[in-house]
Amino acid sequence: MAIERPLPYRPEIDGLRAVAILPVLLFHAGLGCPGGYVGVDVFFVISGYLIGSLILRECETGEFRFAGFWVRRIRRLFPALAVTLAATAVAGSFLLIPTHLEQTGAALIAQPLLVANVLFWSQSGYFETASDYQPLLHTWSLAVEEQFYLFLPLVLVPLLKRGRRPAVIVTWLFIAASFAWSLHASMRFPSAAFFLLPSRIWELDLGLALALLPRAGFRDPRTNELASLAGLAAILAPVFVYDAGTPFPGVAALAPCLGSALLIFANAGSLTTSGRALASPLPVWIGKISYPLYLWHWPILVFARYSWPGNPSPSLALAVLAASFLLAWATSRWIERPVREQRVFAKTRPLVLASVACSILFVAVGAIQEATHGFRDPAAAPIGLASVQNPVAGFHAMRAWDRKGGPFIAGSQEAGAKRLLLWGDSHAMATLPVLDELGREFGVAVYAACEPGNAPLLGTRSARIALDGKDFEPAVRDLLAATDFDAVLLLARWPVYLEKHSAASRNYLLTDGEGKSVPQAEATRLLVDRLGETVRFLESSGTRVLLMRAVAHQPLSVPETIAQARSRGLDENAFAIPLTEHEETDAAVNLLLDKTLAGTRTTILDPRPFFTDAEGRYLMSRTGEALYTDRSHLSPYGSRELRELFEPLFEEIKGPKAAP
């Protein structure tokens, strides 16, 4: 195997790594930089450039060997990763509750198999609260790069044997196809676009395209100066302008990626002023430890949140970053560099065998953690909750009406029973356990016109439903025309239909009746106008209309938070927050609902007092039972806590229930 001859050292690229890693750290720690996640995209461009340059040089000198390429990737990436995975597995066994340890076990299996990004795509969005309990979530980006490294030489090397031109053409074809897919998927399949390789190839290939250019930098030094400064600005601006609601990657990824490419290109000949700033000692030092720094910071932050649930305080966040820097420096000095410089594992065979052995060990440990459900004590009382997708036996959502022959009917199944229409989204579905019980007791049939992400409003659709190509309004109109309902209950997580969607998650912002996107401010007008029209339409037929405000959105996932409190011997509501804070959060939306319905006969139901204790805390648990299945959906037990809220409605429809 040929001896590796390193590429000419470019200190400003290490400085660029510092520019990439620092916003990521600050974003994750909650210390500003709302768009700091774009640092990962800067890393992708840098990686594509450096790896592409290395393959190009070795192919043109006849030194390239596939085995040698992949061994160098192992030598560069695996030692620091192995230490981080091992430390996370050990710490997690002591600190994580069983549910989260089980999830960590799945990640321990996925990472050595190079599919961590696929795993996290299948679980939840990057910006969702469940991610706060995933100490290995950040390894998704490593999986993307590893997949790229696996396939890049298989495509690039045969092309380079025919010269640079075929390689350039194919690279730009990949860039065009991947970027086009990224644009489409960022709106249609946001989580897949964020996590999976196809929508990220263009970012890595942009760096490769730089490596394939015949010359370095612009001819005019002044042009290089301006280009370098513009590139740095294009990277930094999104750090402060973007946030978790920015659709990403898609078109939003252009700025940090093109900025990185421009900065690398403009400084390839001689350093510009901004290039010299990046090449100064402090940025270079941070850049040199950026890889272990990235590896360490997230697990430490997750474990810190276990001790102080919620967003970390500034002092805790700074302590986490300080610990991350210390561990990154130690890892770089005593693990990463010795292996990379071949002072340890100088020969290939021991390195590969050790890496394979470690990978097998991680997979085995992860499999044990999964198989034992996180070492859960079989005798322990589980928090086990029914899925919100199946709140009562036999339930089916609106998309199954054609297949099931009509809507699901809870409550009374007797012919001639009074009828209540429950119309709403998954939060309406979550109330079905109590409505089903009351319906059976009072002889009321409860028709469920429920579909996740579907607001109970005529003349509009959520972006999620529109992107799915669905429109459930005709089915609801047909049901209303064919069935005489004594009352209609409108129930939804109202605030979500006025919010921008998070990158890597579903968009629920309201659209117009044709499914066309509207600005966020326009969505507010749509809610007001369409709710008024919907209520007037229902009331015009003499139907009683009720609207339930959304239950409060909990700051943390309730079942996991209760389990954390239990494991620490704390009260199960130790991390519950006052009702007043929830009221402030939802005040704007509730005011809109109140104003819209002020001139109608609609009754507004408020569920929040039923979850509030005498101390004013909005509870997560009562009598040892979780009130929610996650942050916002009621559990079956939680829905039954609303019995007193709904019982007057059933009494009014049917009359007092018969004595037992």
Tokens of 571: 């009260």
Express as a percent the part of the chain with pLDDT over 90. Answer: 72
pLDDT of residue 387: 54
CA dist., res. 605 & res. 319, Å (int):
45
Confidence of residue 523 (pLDDT cuts 50, 70, 90): confident
38 with 238: CB under 8 angstroms?
yes
Mean pLDDT along residues 570-574: 89
What are the tens digits of pLDDT across the range 464-491? 888 778 889 999 999 999 999 999 999 9
pLDDT of residue 381: 47
Confidence of residue 382 (pLDDT cuts 50, 70, 90): very low
What are the tens digits of pLDDT across the range 176-221? 999 999 999 988 888 899 999 999 999 999 999 999 998 888 999 9
What are the tens digits of pLDDT across the range 143-160? 999 999 999 999 999 999
Q: Which residue pairs from 175-184 have beta carbons closer than 8 angstroms and sit at least 24 positions apart in sequence?
A: 175/201, 175/202, 175/205, 175/206, 175/209, 176/202, 178/202, 178/205, 182/249, 182/250, 182/253, 183/250, 183/251
409 with 653: CB under 8 angstroms?
no
Q: Is residue 659 scored above 50 in pLDDT?
A: no
Confidence of residue 98 (pLDDT cuts 50, 70, 90): confident
Residue at token pair 């597995």: 89
CA dist., res. 200 & res. 378, Å (int):
43
Superfamily of domain 398-551+590-609+639-654 in the CATH hierarchy: Response regulator (3.40.50.2300)
338 with 76: CB under 8 angstroms?
no
- Which uninterrupted H or E stretch holds 621? strand 621-622
Taking Cα atoms as reference points, which of 396, 547, 532, 541 lies closest to residue 475?
396
CA dist., res. 432 & res. 640, Å (int):
9
User: pTM score, two decimals?
Assistant: 0.86
CA dist., res. 305 & res. 595, Å (int):
40
Question: CB under 8 Å to 396, separation ≥6 — which residues?
Answer: 404, 408
CA distances from 412 to 401, 442, 445, 645, 658 (A): 19, 8, 5, 19, 14
The rounded mean pLDDT for the chain is 90
What are the tens digits of pLDDT across the range 224-266? 999 999 999 999 999 999 988 788 899 999 999 999 999 999 9
What are the tens digits of pLDDT across the range 329-343? 999 999 999 999 999
Confidence of residue 1 (pLDDT cuts 50, 70, 90): very low
| Opening angle at CA 347, ends 344 and 352, nearest 5 | 90
Mean pLDDT along residues 52-57: 94
Please report, for the chain, the start and end positions of each structural domain, with discontinuous segments joined by +. Answer: 11-371, 398-551+590-609+639-654
Confidence of residue 658 (pLDDT cuts 50, 70, 90): very low
What phi and psi values does residue 399 have, to the nearest 5 degrees? Answer: -65, -15
pLDDT of residue 3: 45
pLDDT of residue 462: 86
